[in-house]
């Protein structure tokens, strides 16, 4: 199962494609960031994010996707900006016919590290270890997107186990 994780933003949108192998191991397929310039008008920036994500979705054809949920921020302008990036990411997934899940940062940390209040460095190290990478993925937004993808895979695995228990007599 190939999954895309997205860490949304308008300046930098991180993406990460992770494949779950038949034996349950995880493999990184691709990761990176889509960067837009602060000097560019917001509608154009959102369009650049949409086009970039759409091209990646066509290239890799994931079966599902996950986007990090917006959590409360003190800076309202930042929250609005991240919200716009989230909307574009969700739209790109919907337009590609890909089901999208959403996870809070706490849920991502819990799924990847086992502790919802884990530090960013702990999450990044677990991403490196789970994907058997030599180094922590850079930039941070790409590592965060890979963590979202891992969270989605782990959550799907737990959901399928739970649903299997419900179906048994």
Q: Which residue among the candidates 20, 48, 141, 144 is catalytic per the annotation? A: 141
**Has 144 been annotated as catalytic?**
no
Q: Which residue among the candidates 7, 20, 48, 144 is catalytic per the annotation? A: 7
pLDDT tens, 25-63?
A: 999 999 999 999 999 999 999 999 999 999 999 999 999
Q: What's the gap between Cα 79 and its chain centre? A: 18
Classify domain 2-167 by CATH architecture. Answer: 2-Layer Sandwich (3.30)
Q: How many CB atoms lie under 10 A from the CB of residue 1? A: 14
pLDDT tens, 61-88?
A: 999 999 999 765 666 677 777 889 999 9
**Has 68 been annotated as catalytic?**
yes
Q: Which residue among the candidates 20, 48, 68, 144 is catalytic per the annotation? A: 68
Q: Is the pTM of this model over 0.85?
A: yes
Q: Return the domain boundaries, the chain.
A: 2-167
**Has 23 been annotated as catalytic?**
no
User: What value does the mean pLDDT take over residues 1-25?
Assistant: 95
Provide the pLDDT for residue 75. Answer: 66
């Amino acid at each position: 199962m190939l999954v895309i994780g997205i860490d949304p933003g308008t300046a930098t949108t991180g993406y990460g494609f992770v494949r779950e192998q038949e034996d349950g191991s995880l493999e990184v397929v691709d990761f990176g960031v889509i960067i837009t310039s602060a000097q560019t008008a917001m509608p154009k920036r959102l369009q650049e994010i949409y086009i970039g994500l759409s091209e990646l979705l066509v290239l890799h054809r994931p079966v599902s996707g996950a986007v990090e949920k917006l959590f409360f921020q003190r800076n309202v302008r930042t929250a609005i900006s991240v919200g716009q990036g989230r909307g574009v990411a969700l739209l790109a997934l919907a337009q590609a016919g890909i089901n999208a899940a959403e996870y809070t940062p706490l849920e991502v940390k819990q799924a990847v590290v086992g502790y919802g209040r884990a530090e960013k460095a702990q999450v990044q190290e677990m991403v490196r270890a789970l994907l058997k990478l030599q180094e922590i993925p850079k930039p941070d937004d790409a590592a965060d997107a890979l963590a979202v993808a891992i969270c989605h895979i782990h959550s799907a695995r737990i959901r399928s186990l739970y649903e299997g228990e419900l179906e048994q007599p």
